[in-house]
Amino acid sequence: MKVSLLRCSRCGRTAIYRRPYEGIALCKACFLRDIEERIRRTISKYDMLKFDDHIAVAVSGGKDSLTLLRILRKMERRFPKSKLTAVTVDEGIRGYRAEAVKLAREYCGELDVDHVVVSFRELFGRTLDQIVRSKKELSPCSYCGVLRRRAIHIAARNAKANKIATAHNLDDEVQTILINIFHGDAKRIARVEPVLVDPAGRFAERIKPVCEIPEKEVALYAYLTGTKFQTTPCPYLTTALRNDVREMLNRIEEKHTGTKFTIFRSMERLRNYLKLSIGAAELRNCRGCGEPTTQEFCEVCKTLGTTLRSGSV
Amino acid sequence: MKVSLLRCSRCGRTAIYRRPYEGIALCKACFLRDIEERIRRTISKYDMLKFDDHIAVAVSGGKDSLTLLRILRKMERRFPKSKLTAVTVDEGIRGYRAEAVKLAREYCGELDVDHVVVSFRELFGRTLDQIVRSKKELSPCSYCGVLRRRAIHIAARNAKANKIATAHNLDDEVQTILINIFHGDAKRIARVEPVLVDPAGRFAERIKPVCEIPEKEVALYAYLTGTKFQTTPCPYLTTALRNDVREMLNRIEEKHTGTKFTIFRSMERLRNYLKLSIGAAELRNCRGCGEPTTQEFCEVCKTLGTTLRSGSV
């Protein structure tokens, strides 16, 4: 019996991956190069970076953020005026976050990148576990999302970074789009985008260089580069609608290859129409903490249910 | 052991249905009244009908269309100047459509409603089975959708009806919204709406009075009223993305009650924003058949791949 090996569509060596949505196969070297090249294309297409940016990279310790850090570090070496700072948020999730912080610290050491850890306890006076125990109205992910975003912004500001890079991959973005639709949050669709600019200029610009790479390929990249990443899922994950949406999207993608990309593009067009008619929201200072917000109190103050002193959050 | 029966939340009699998204239970009489009342509210909310409308009701012979016909007939009795004509399209699907046409004919007889049958063969010169055999680019549902819509419009025009009522239920509409997103068809989202007006006034206005009733409740209504409807699914159904989207939505609805309604409302808001920025498409006459279209040739002529004589289609 003759066993025929799958060959790399680019160089003819033994392939290690079949990419269904392009109908090609890739060897290890060509796969790694391809992912880096595609991230570079995303950065250039959305005009994400300048040669002298100081980028705060949000590093959770998972496969996505460590991959992002690795690739940005590789790119940064070619731009002597640029700078990277890795930021890890310790939300205070017992039995979960400590391992991730350790992995992030080690990886930053390996890549020779400055590493900053900020915690919910230190910034907001309590851990996520404590918040979840005392508040039941929203899902843990809703509280965490609002506070983590603010924590990263504060860390970036303290480090004097002018950009924040997060490792949202294609699956994350497409899930968020559907969740917004499922929640009836039509306006938020316009805010799921590769580059998020604060019109008031008080928060650093947020960029998502991995937003066009499927989750599976980010995981493969991390695996092939020998990256040690956290594999334990967050203990709060099961409570989230996101989990069901993820499963459902994977099932549909399996039968209808390319659907995730199509949804991403579909929303890109929709976003442009939406922006035309919604227009930019007007920002003012939160009466609680003084940070920019579109409402009287910002989401962080509403989440914490407190009126915080200006500047402390 | 004491068995406690579920009681109707409205009248206290034995309930036959628990409605998860409202947390209530209903007896048979209250359920039937509730569905009719809700359809009446949808009609009034979207300003679907006037007292002297002549409505062509698209009747396939399935549970949805027979239920719609029954309820409209009940309402029509109170408006002596209104008129109903049931329209059944025979697409030419061997082993499937004949039964439905028979069921539709019998039900129209029972309700004393005029019934017209139009066929793809007579209007377009070939059956759906023949089209599917000769054309492979699109799914059978894509061909069928375009031609069936036209067939209903022609039948309505011939019957001098000024409105066309179709029995799209909540599930149908929500599935279509997601399919448009999955297909990258953002602009089409703006066209999934309860009332569709042809700006040129050459086609009758299309209304969807059942669009706010979940499929399950339409089925229960048909069952409780003893309606004999076709239960065989269309033999082409398995090839469609719609099938996967239906399953996925039902799974999510089961765990997150009310999601279908939320998506419907979410899209209602989105549609308004979209309409603001897209604006109305300009219509001209199709070079093939003379019917109104936004392009050089209408979808029907493109589907058939022919240049048809004006007026024949």
Contact B126, B120 (CB under 8 A): yes
Same domain, B207 and B288: no
Flag whether B102 is in a domain: yes
Cα B307 to chain centroid distance, Å, stands at 29
On whether any CB of chain B is under 8 Å from the CB of A248, the answer is yes
How many whole angstroms separate alpha carbon A194 and alpha carbon A176? 13
Residues B206 and B106 in one domain: yes
Residue B54 and residue B187 share a domain = yes
Nearest to A91 by CA among A215, A234, A203: A234
- What confidence score (pLDDT) does residue B312 get? 44
Query: B147 lies in which domain range?
Result: 36-234+258-269
Residue B239 in any domain: the answer is no
Greater confidence (A117 vs A142) lies with A117
C-alpha pair distances (Å), A134 with each of A126, A137, A303: 11, 10, 12
Q: What are phi and psi of B291, to 5 degrees?
A: -75, 155
| Residues B295 and B200 reside in one and the same domain | no
When the pLDDT of each residue in chain A is averaged and rounded to a whole number, the result is 89
B/e letters for A208-239, b = 16+ CB within 10 Å, e = fewer, are bbbbbbbbbbbbbbbeeeebebbeeebebeee
Is B136 contained in some domain? yes
User: Nearest Cα to B166, choosing from B93, B76, B46, B86?
Assistant: B86
CA nearest neighbour of B252 among A180, A248, A181: A248
Higher pLDDT residue, B47 or A187? B47
**B63 and B43 share one domain:** yes
Return the number of other C-beta atoms located less than 10 Å from residue B226's C-beta. 6
B313 lies in some domain: yes
pTM exceeds 0.90: no
Question: Which parts of chain A are beta strand (E)?
Answer: 17-19, 24-26, 54-58, 83-90, 114-119, 163-165, 195-196, 205-207, 284-285, 292-293
Residues from chain A that touch B248, judged by Cβ atoms under 8 A, are 248, 251-252
The tens digit of pLDDT for each residue in A12-64 reads 999 999 999 999 999 999 999 999 999 999 999 999 999 999 999 999 999 99
Number of folded domains in chain B? 2
Question: How near does any CA of chain B get to the CA of A45, in Å?
Answer: 20
Spell out which residues of chain B touch residue A269, defining contact as CB-CB under 8 Å. 184, 186-187
Q: Is B160 left (phi over 0), alpha (psi -120 to 50) or beta?
A: left
**Cα B194 to Cα B211: distance, rounded to the nearest angstrom:** 7
pLDDT value of position A3: 63
**Amino acid letter, residue A59:** V
Residues B130 and B213 in one domain: yes
A118 touches chain B (CB under 8 A): no
Chain B contact for A245 (CB, 8 A cutoff): yes
| C-alpha–C-alpha distance, residues B192 and B289, integer Å | 25
- A277, B273 Cβ separation under 8 angstroms: yes
The verdict on B288 and B199 lying in the same domain is: no
Single-letter code of the amino acid located at A60: S
pLDDT recorded at residue B139: 83
- For residue A67, pLDDT over 90 is answered with yes
Residue A87 confidence (pLDDT) above 80:
yes
Asked if residue A155 is part of any domain, the answer here is yes
- Report the SS3 class of residue A209: coil
pLDDT reported for residue A65: 97
Residue A240: pLDDT band (50, 70, 90) is low
CA distance B135 to chain A (A): 20
pLDDT in tens, chain B (313 residues): 566 679 999 999 999 999 999 999 999 999 999 999 999 999 999 999 999 999 999 999 999 999 999 999 999 999 999 999 999 999 999 989 999 999 999 999 999 999 999 999 999 999 999 999 988 788 888 899 999 999 999 999 999 999 999 999 999 999 999 988 888 776 777 778 899 887 777 789 999 999 999 999 999 999 999 999 998 888 887 656 788 889 889 988 998 899 999 999 988 888 877 777 766 667 788 888 888 788 888 889 988 886 444 444 4
Is B27 within a domain?
A: no
Domain membership flag for residue B262: yes
B222, B288: one domain: no
Comparing CA positions, the residue from A144, A154, A167 lying closest to residue A204 is A154
Q: For A118-129, what is the mean pLDDT?
A: 95
Q: Could you tell me if B225 and B301 lie in one domain?
A: no
User: What is the CATH classification number for the domain harbouring A53?
Assistant: 3.40.50.620
Statement to judge: residues B96 and B207 lie in one domain? yes
pLDDT at position B240, please? 66
Residue A152 falls within a domain, yes or no? Answer: yes
Min Cα separation B277/chain A (Å): 6
Interface predicted TM-score of the whole assembly (ipTM), two decimals: 0.77
Specify the 3-state DSSP secondary structure of B285: strand
Pair B220, B300 in one domain: no
Check whether residue B190 and residue B312 sit in a common domain. no
